[in-house]
């Protein structure tokens, strides 16, 4: 399939693929086994300018958009989804800043993100606020000299490893979600500490931690955009970032498909290669259809984001839901084709299957996103948009 990528897009994709194959592949099993944060790979990605891809040129970036970010994420995820999310979460951590930040704020933080010297992270989820994201309790009380943060953020990707955090907190408790604001908090700010590193089913190379704020004073100039708009900013952010999760799913499913085809070619039972058996051929064909359909939808959604369109919720949700469901199905089938071997850690597919599950959960569960799609479907009376 030809998606008519531009030459610069192909260059980005090819280099990301090379980094994934040369630097990530040799260590992915070890990173998964040890639950080790991939700092060496982050340095390789930085040296190759991968963190510049999503940053505007004015701040030392290469000025790419959602599609470019998706291409890198997909290629990394084809080899290791834990590495891919580490990369993509840094972009997520500074997208609110890119969208709503002042020139000063952007100059202060973006060049270091672009150079890969510092990682970003985004924090909205709390013990009481998962799918019910507006039910956050963390407060940012206006005091002399800035905002005083108190509360706990949960399951934060790149938590503890990132330097720059975009935190959604209530600057006006009485107004609930309408009193939420996005605030930049730097690692090392007094009163800002980290909880334990979570032990996960999959994407184990990535770091997931609690952020704990206890009377953490943040300068007033760290607020992004207008106070009170934090929740809306977060929802718009996810509308733009969800194709990235879709890309992570496409890459993961692609990797699983390749592993399954390789195994089916090598494995002989009943005196024939599995790949010659119609039952396996049909399974592989269905997997390939899922992967390609997911890719087409993700690229279309990413291009829609890059077009500057306003109503992104439905298209981005569709891309994320379809691709992550496809990744789950394809990785389960890849394990099935590889049989007993596929269940063992010596083969890559069991890791891929574990990595796939989170894609149906984070950045909006697939159930919550189906709700959002249904709301829009009703608005447009089911007619093609």
Question: What's the CA gap between 35 and 348, in Å, rounded?
Answer: 16
* 8 A C-beta contact, residue 168 and residue 235: no
* 8 A C-beta contact, residue 163 and residue 169: no
* 8 A C-beta contact, residue 198 and residue 209: yes
In the region spanning residues 10 to 39, those forming contacts with other proteins, defined by CB under 8 A, are: 11-12, 15, 18-19, 22-23
Smallest distance, other proteins to C-beta of residue 25, A: 13
Q: Give the interface size with other proteins as a residue count (CB under 8 A).
A: 16
219 near other proteins, rule: CB under 8 A: no
Question: What's the CA gap between 384 and 92, in Å, rounded?
Answer: 30
59-78 footprint of other proteins as x/- string (CB under 8 A): ---x----------------
Question: What's the CA gap between 72 and 51, in Å, rounded?
Answer: 10
Helix boundaries (H) for 48-102: 66-79, 81-100
In the region spanning residues 225 to 244, those forming contacts with other proteins, defined by CB under 8 A, are: none
Nearest to 54 by CA among 43, 45, 41, 67: 67
Out of 31, 32, 42, 52, name the contact with other proteins by CB under 8 A.
Answer: 52
47 near other proteins, rule: CB under 8 A: yes
Smallest distance, other proteins to C-beta of residue 49, A: 4
292 near other proteins, rule: CB under 8 A: no
Nearer to other proteins, 7 or 346 (CB): 7
Out of 44, 172, 262, 325, name the contact with other proteins by CB under 8 A.
Answer: 44
The answer to whether 363 is a known catalytic residue is yes
Smallest distance, other proteins to C-beta of residue 41, A: 11
The widest CA-to-CA distance across the chain, in whole angstroms, is 79
> Binding segment for other proteins among 45-53, 311-319, 338-346, 360-368 (CB under 8 A)?
45-53
The per-residue b/e assignment along 70-83, b for 16 or more CB within 10 angstroms, e otherwise, is bbbbbbbbbbbbbb
49 near other proteins, rule: CB under 8 A: yes
Smallest distance, other proteins to C-beta of residue 64, A: 9
DSSP class of residue 20? I
Instruction: Spot the catalytic one: 126, 210, 314, 363.
Output: 363
Provide the CB-side half-sphere exposure for 228 (13 A, CA). 5
> Binding segment for other proteins among 49-57, 126-134, 310-318, 356-364 (CB under 8 A)?
49-57
Three-state DSSP at 195 gives strand
Nearer to other proteins, 15 or 300 (CB): 15
88 near other proteins, rule: CB under 8 A: no
186 near other proteins, rule: CB under 8 A: no
Smallest distance, other proteins to C-beta of residue 156, A: 28
48 near other proteins, rule: CB under 8 A: yes
Smallest distance, other proteins to C-beta of residue 117, A: 15
Question: What's the CA gap between 204 and 82, in Å, rounded?
Answer: 6
Pairing of strands 120-123, 164-170: parallel
**Residue partners of 134: CB distance under 8 A and separation at least 6:** 176, 177, 180, 231
Provide the CB-side half-sphere exposure for 209 (13 A, CA). 21
Which amino acids are annotated catalytic? 363
Interface contacts to other proteins, rule CB under 8 A: 8, 11-12, 15, 18-19, 22-23, 44, 47-50, 52-53, 62
């Amino acid at each position: 399939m030809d998606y008519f990528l531009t030459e610069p897009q192909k260059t980005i994709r090819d280099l990301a693929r090379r980094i994934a194959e040369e630097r990530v592949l040799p260590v992915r099993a070890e990173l998964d086994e040890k639950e080790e944060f991939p700092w060496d790979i982050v340095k390789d990605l930085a040296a190759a300018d991968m963190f510049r891809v999503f940053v505007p040129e004015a701040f030392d970036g290469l000025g790419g958009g959602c599609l470019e970010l998706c291409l890198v994420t997909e290629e990394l995820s084809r080899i290791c989804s834990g590495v891919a999310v580490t990369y993509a979460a840094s972009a997520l951590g500074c997208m609110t800043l890119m969208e709503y930040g002042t020139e000063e704020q952007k100059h202060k933080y973006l060049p270091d993100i672009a150079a890969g010297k510092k990682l970003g992270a985004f924090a909205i989820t709390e013990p009481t606020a998962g799918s019910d994201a507006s039910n956050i309790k963390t407060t940012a009380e206006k005091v002399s000299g800035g905002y005083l943060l108190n509360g706990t953020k949960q399951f934060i990707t790149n938590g503890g490893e990132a330097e720059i955090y975009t935190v959604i907190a209530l600057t006006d408790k009485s107004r609930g979600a309408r009193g939420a604001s996005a605030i930049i908090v730097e690692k090392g700010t007094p009163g800002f500490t980290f909880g334990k590193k979570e032990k996960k089913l999959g994407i184990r190379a990535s770091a997931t931690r609690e952020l704990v704020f206890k009377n953490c004073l943040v300068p007033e100039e760290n607020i992004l955009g207008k106070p009170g708009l934090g929740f809306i900013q977060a929802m718009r952010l996810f509308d733009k970032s969800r194709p990235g999760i879709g890309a992570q799913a496409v890459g993961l499913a692609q990797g699983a498909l390749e592993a399954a085809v390789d195994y089916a070619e090598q494995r002989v039972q009943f005196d024939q290669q599995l790949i010659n058996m119609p039952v396996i051929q049909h399974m592989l064909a269905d997997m390939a259809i899922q992967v390609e359909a997911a890719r087409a939808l993700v690229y279309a959604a990413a291009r829609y984001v890059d077009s500057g369109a306003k109503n992104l919720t439905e298209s981005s949700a569709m891309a994320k839901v379809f691709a992550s469901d496809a990744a789950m199905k394809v990785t389960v089938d890849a394990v099935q084709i590889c049989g007993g071997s596929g269940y063992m850690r010596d083969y890559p597919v069991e890791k891929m299957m574990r990595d796939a599950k989170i894609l149906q959960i984070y950045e909006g569960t697939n159930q919550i996103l189906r709700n959002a799609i249904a709301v829009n479907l009703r608005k447009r009376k089911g007619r093609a948009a």
